[in-house]
Amino acid sequence: MINFQYARATDVADALRQIEADPAAKFIAGGTNLIDLMKYDVERPLRLIDITRLPLRTVEETADGRVRIGALVPNSDLAYHPLIDQRYPLLASAILAGASQQLRNMASTGGNLLQRTRCFYFYDTATPCNKREPGSGCSAIRGINRINAILGTSEACIATHPSDMCVALAALEAEVHVAGPAGERAIAFADFHRLPGDTPQLDNNLQSNEIVTAIELPAQGFAKNYSYLKIRDRLSYAFALVSVAAALELDGGRIKEARLALGGVAHKPWRKSEAEAALRGQSADAATFAKAADLLLRDAKGFSHNAFKIDLARRAIVRTLTQAAKGTPQIQSSKKVR
């Protein structure tokens, strides 16, 4: 038994005061990832600061037509919220592709962003892992790396970010709002998560004394032509081998605007401006989609067990863009379950 203290924060200022006073502490929201990591002895916080009572549970439209999502909105409430279901169905679809109904009921929006990798070795404290213990080595590079990354990897780490929700947020160009001792700041979603480089212990650019307060979505929701496709080993309750979020704005058969993000392939949701530029102004057909897929995967590199992901991703991109263009999005099997 490893002892730790538990305290409840009353508001954002109180949460910030508590984390500033004890840098070895951790915020806890739904606990669906942090508690597992503590049980596996991967995380050893000396103090948990429970933030579940903070007033960050609303989804509301802002005066300029954006939508602000509180960091503590549970994943299920978010997916079924009318504003999200109707204006941002890509986000709703990605959330419903993740975890199980029970987990989605507990998991928070902020926690989903900050969940840690599912690399087998990260959870196995008997093996070297640079993310868990910087400088110890990476067991996955020459080990069982079927679920690991094919893009943006480094010699120090080939882990992926496991979230589905974040892939849709990347495609929608959301903003992450955070508060810290210096006040509030907004981080573009593309700049929130990091590539591993030589500091794989850092998953994102949030400082340890900051708290995520909200996510903001731009007004453009791509509600007509979108699709989220998740390829995994089991139809439910499994993380993505590859996932694709596609959103298009069409003008007849031509693409006016395009967003394309991949999950399950890198340390962060993977986008490339050249791939989206190759879609804009083009006819929405298989040849255009294949070209965008090639550009998005241009720098992909497979390891001993995951090279199959490159071809899988290429085909998944073409299929997802085809679904988006036709207005026939992938239906998640959990869509009707509440």
Ligand X SMILES: Cc1cc2nc3c(=O)[nH]c(=O)nc-3n(C[C@H](O)[C@H](O)[C@H](O)COP(=O)(O)OP(=O)(O)OC[C@H]3O[C@@H](n4cnc5c(N)ncnc54)[C@H](O)[C@@H]3O)c2cc1C
Residues making contact with ligand X (CB under 6 A):
26-34, 36, 51, 71, 98-99, 103, 106-108, 110-112, 114-115, 162-165, 211-212, 239
Q: Which SS3 state, helix, strand or coil, does residue 5 take?
A: strand
Identify which of residues 22 and 36 has a Cβ nearer to ligand X in the complex.
Answer: 36
Could you tell which of ligand SF4, ligand X, none binds residue 83, using a CB distance below 5 to 8 A set by kind?
Answer: none
Could you tell which of ligand SF4, ligand X, none binds residue 153, using a CB distance below 5 to 8 A set by kind?
Answer: none
Identify which of residues 114 and 313 has a Cβ nearer to ligand X in the complex.
Answer: 114
Question: Does 200 interact with ligand SF4 (rule: CB under 6 A)?
Answer: yes
* Per-residue burial over 298-322, b = 16 or more CB atoms within 10 Å of its CB, e = otherwise: eebeebeebeebbebbbebbbbbbb
Whether 135 contacts 185, CB under 8 Å: no
- Which listed residue (16, 27, 84, 121) binds ligand SF4 by CB under 6 A? 121
Q: How far is the CB of 159 from ligand SF4 (least distance, A)?
A: 4
Polymer length in residues for the chain: 338
Could you tell which of ligand X, ligand SF4, none binds residue 131, using a CB distance below 5 to 8 A set by kind?
Answer: ligand SF4
Identify which of residues 108 and 148 has a Cβ nearer to ligand SF4 in the complex.
Answer: 148
Alpha helices (runs of H) in 2-100, residue ranges in sequence order:
12-21, 34-39, 75-80, 82-87, 89-96
| Minimal CB distance residue for ligand X | 111
Residue 94 token pair: 């990605």
**3-state secondary structure string across 245-300:** EEEEEEECCEEEEEEEEEECCCCCCECCHHHHHCCCCCECCHHHHHHHHHHHCCCC
Question: Does 122 interact with ligand SF4 (rule: CB under 6 A)?
Answer: yes
- DSSP type of residue 235: S
Could you tell which of ligand X, ligand SF4, none binds residue 115, using a CB distance below 5 to 8 A set by kind?
Answer: ligand X
> Distance between CA 185 and CA 174 in Å, rounded?
14
Residue 134 token pair: 């910087």
Could you tell which of ligand X, ligand SF4, none binds residue 28, using a CB distance below 5 to 8 A set by kind?
Answer: ligand X
Region binding ligand SF4 by CB under 6 A among candidate stretches 58-66, 122-130, 245-253, 295-303: 122-130
Identify which of residues 71 and 266 has a Cβ nearer to ligand SF4 in the complex.
Answer: 266
Contact string (CB under 6 A) for ligand SF4, positions 134-163, x = contact: ----xxx-------x--------xxx----
> Distance between CA 50 and CA 54 in Å, rounded?
9
